[in-house]
Amino acid sequence: MEIITEKRFNYWLEVLPPLVMGRHQVICFLKEFDQNPVYTQLNDFDDLFIQGEGYDKHKILGSKAGKFYFIGDTLKEWETEYFRYDDSSINMNLQISNKLKEAV
Kindly indicate the confidence band of residue 16, based on its pLDDT and cuts at 50, 70 and 90. Answer: confident
Kindly indicate the confidence band of residue 21, based on its pLDDT and cuts at 50, 70 and 90. Answer: very high
Query: What pLDDT, on a 0 to 100 scale, did the predictor assign at position 102?
Result: 86
Is the model's pTM score more than 0.85? yes
HEC letters along the chain: CEEECHHHHHHHHHHCCCCEECHHHHHHHHHHCCCCHHHHHCCCCCEEEEECCCEECCEEEEEECCEEEEEEECCCCEECHHHHCCCCCCCHHHHHHHHHHHHC
pLDDT digits (tens, 9 = 90+) for 29-60: 999 999 999 999 999 999 999 999 989 999 99
Section 70-85 average pLDDT: 95
Query: What pLDDT, on a 0 to 100 scale, did the predictor assign at position 104?
Result: 65
